[in-house]
Amino acid sequence: MAHLFIVRTPMQIVSALEAMHHFQTANNTLVILHNRNKSNPKQIQKVIEIFNLHVIFDEIIEVPVLNQSKFFRSVELINTLKNRRYEKLFLGLYDSMGKLFLANLLYSHAYLIDDGTATIVAHRNMYNRLNSRAVGLKELRALFFGLHIHSESSLDFFTMFKLEQNADETIITHRFEYLKEFFSQQYHRDNTLYLLGQNITDVPILSKESYLCYIQQIVERYAEREIIYIPHRSETLHHELYELQNRHFTIAESTMPIELYFLINRIYPTHIVSFFTSALYTLNILFDKSRLESFMIPHEDIQSRHENVRECQRFLEATSVVQTPLQSYAQYNML
């Protein structure tokens, strides 16, 4: 039987490879949905080259970013894929587009694969969403094109997160067995402090001023360490961040997911810090002897998505990631 993987980010491709390895699937089709993020296509191409995906997958369909809307791209893709039945469907997205795939493609089993912290949020909200029959404008538009808007099939999880089971869903956890096997090699210890950026000022979860305040606190806390700042691929790099650069603090170009950066360069990092990114969770699995540190954002500085931030922090609490408090923006500027 055929198997279908639909992804749109580099780490979703890694999740797809983990699922292939776990389920030992054959006759695999990979669909890559490109988006308008400038660095995303470059990182995806890098992942394609690293794993030689054109050999691993029987078919790769890349859906480029065109002037047409995402909805019309979805309609065209569904019409392309729906004439074939799949044993398993693996989705890296659970949004309006992902739900259309679930409702209109033919498959025996469907799994949501990891999309970073979005997986945690999707799992928390999924029960009510799957049981909701409310119809909005997007759904009406899909009906106009002859598409179904509700899936009668269950959606299970293939994930690195230790999710609590809801109802009758199936949750299969993995520990990056494929990645560890693919990169089974000797590593060299690196005492550099790696600071992972997050794209949280564009939402905005934080103001630009608060975010820069936190970066400044981390830089001051580790003033004697060499710090390399690794931006998120979707992050807006504010000019104030560049002004912090000196011989101890540098900003590196983001060319691939941070997990692959360490693995490819045979780096075993000793210390990695960030805020509530899922990369801390991933790296905690891959590099269990490293010190992983999550700097806790003060509640009063969070502008939106409070519950999502708290949920992500809660998952990190269940790991060996060290949690370190930060001063709020107001407290820091009173000093």
pLDDT in tens, 295-307: 999 999 999 999 8
How big is the CA angle at 179 (ends 176 and 182), to the nearest 5 degrees? 150
pLDDT value at residue 8:
93
The rounded distance, in Å, linking the Cα atoms of 44 and 257 is 9
Classify the C-alpha dihedral 215-216-222-227 as positive or negative.
Answer: positive
Distances (CA, A) of 66 to 6, 33, 35, 76: 18, 11, 9, 13
Indicate whether 115 pLDDT > 80: yes
| Strand order across the beta sheet in which 28-33 lies | 59-63, 28-33, 2-7, 85-91, 106-113, 156-159, 171-173
Q: Kindly give, in sequence order, each residue whose CB lies less than 8 Å from that of residue 223, ignoring residues fewer than 6 positions away.
A: 248
User: Using CB atoms within 10 A of its CB, is residue 205 exposed (0-12), middle (13-18) or buried (19+)?
Assistant: buried
The rounded distance, in Å, linking the Cα atoms of 104 and 71 is 14
Indicate whether 260 pLDDT > 90: yes
**Looking at domain 185-334, which CATH architecture does it have?**
3-Layer(aba) Sandwich (3.40)
Same fold for the domain at 2-180 and the one at 185-334? Answer: yes
The rounded distance, in Å, linking the Cα atoms of 224 and 281 is 26
Q: Are 279 and 196 spatial neighbours (Cβ–Cβ below 8 Å)? A: yes
User: DSSP class of residue 327?
Assistant: -
User: DSSP class of residue 251?
Assistant: E
Instruction: List the chain domain ranges.
Output: 2-180, 185-334
Any bridge partners for residue 90, and if so which? 5, 111
Token pair in block for residue 223: 């003033």
pLDDT in tens, 182-209: 998 889 999 999 999 999 998 899 999 9
Range with the poorest average pLDDT among 51-60, 131-140, 252-261? 131-140
The rounded distance, in Å, linking the Cα atoms of 154 and 126 is 11
Which pTM does this prediction carry? Answer: 0.92
Indicate whether 168 pLDDT > 80: yes
The rounded distance, in Å, linking the Cα atoms of 196 and 277 is 8
Indicate whether 140 pLDDT > 90: no
For the residues 157-183, what does the mean pLDDT come to?
A: 94
Indicate whether 164 pLDDT > 80: yes
Classify the C-alpha dihedral 55-56-57-60 as positive or negative.
Answer: negative
Three-state helix/strand/coil letters over 124-158: HHHHHHHCCCCCCHHHHHHHHCCCCCCCCCCCEEE
pLDDT bin (cut points 50, 70, 90) of residue 3 is: very high
Distances (CA, A) of 260 to 8, 174, 183, 281: 17, 17, 9, 14
Provide the mean pLDDT of the chain: 91
Q: What is the CATH number of domain 2-180?
A: 3.40.50
The rounded distance, in Å, linking the Cα atoms of 12 and 216 is 32
For residues 277 and 138, which has the higher predicted lDDT (pLDDT)? 277
pLDDT value at residue 255:
84
Q: Helix (H, G, I), strand (E, B), or coil: what is residue 4?
A: strand
Unique residue bearing structure tokens 């997050």 = 198
